[in-house]
Amino acid sequence: MRDPYLYPNTNIHINIAGIRNKELLKAYTAKHFALSMLKLQREPIVFNSSFDFLRLHEALFNMVFPWAGEIRTINIKNSLFILGEDLVQYADYENIHLELEQIDHYFFKLPWGKYDLENFINHLADLLVDLWVIHPLREGNTRTLIVFMDLFSRQYNYHINLKKFNEHQEYFRNALIWGAYGELFNLKDILSKIIK
């Protein structure tokens, strides 16, 4: 089945600017992502639901992808170096809405504002992994998750040390992968080093 998010016979995502070159699209996306981040610093999204994650994606990528903020309509899987020949199979697209509702039912009813740092990190690690495993968007899930982590933490008066995060950034995706397999130690270790 042809991927409706890609230009035919390419691996380039359909984009608002009509760019058909991967490197140019990468630069274009980075520029607009940075501009969107500046706006979000001034006008942060308040997260009351996992569906606000979709709003965040739209805010970050609405100048890049015509489908920004929309739940993907195909199944995707990813071959990641850390897993060797194994694949990460994300949530079936037909179940994404239900799975986001389940996140709301559990995580968005927790008393986040009452947690000390250790409990905040423990629950945040679980929430980040669950959102990442669902992978509700066709492209930009991990970038959106990183911004979500920052804004969500600030919502509860915690702060992400961006310098520290940059030191651990290359390990962050690997920690999410291990988390998807039930091993959260690495992710919690990173969070404990970057959240104050």
pLDDT tens readout for residues 126-145: 999 999 999 999 999 999 99
Asked whether residue 3 is assigned to any structural domain, the reply reads: no
Asked whether residue 57 is assigned to any structural domain, the reply reads: yes
Asked whether residue 2 is assigned to any structural domain, the reply reads: no
What's the confidence (pLDDT) of residue 185?
96
**CATH for 76:** 1.10.3290.10
Q: How far is CA 167 from the centre of its chain?
A: 19
| Domain coverage including residue 164 | 22-194
SS3 183: coil
pLDDT level of residue 85 (50, 70, 90 thresholds): low
| Residue 81: pLDDT over 60 | no
Asked whether residue 44 is assigned to any structural domain, the reply reads: yes
How far, CA to CA in Å, does 158 sit from each of 125, 137, 152, 155, 161?
14, 27, 9, 7, 10
Q: What residues are paired with 88 via a beta bridge?
A: 78
SS3 162: helix
Q: What residues are paired with 79 via a beta bridge?
A: 87
Asked whether residue 17 is assigned to any structural domain, the reply reads: no
pLDDT tens readout for residues 40-54: 999 999 999 999 999
To which H or E segment does residue 39 belong? helix 22-42
Asked whether residue 58 is assigned to any structural domain, the reply reads: yes
What's the confidence (pLDDT) of residue 169?
84
Asked whether residue 83 is assigned to any structural domain, the reply reads: yes
Q: Using CB atoms within 10 A of its CB, is residue 74 exposed (0-12), middle (13-18) or buried (19+)?
A: exposed
Number of structural domains the chain divides into: 1
Least confident of 81-90, 108-117, 131-140: 81-90
What's the confidence (pLDDT) of residue 86?
58
Q: What residues are paired with 77 via a beta bridge?
A: 89
Asked whether residue 7 is assigned to any structural domain, the reply reads: no
> Which amino acid makes up residue 100?
L
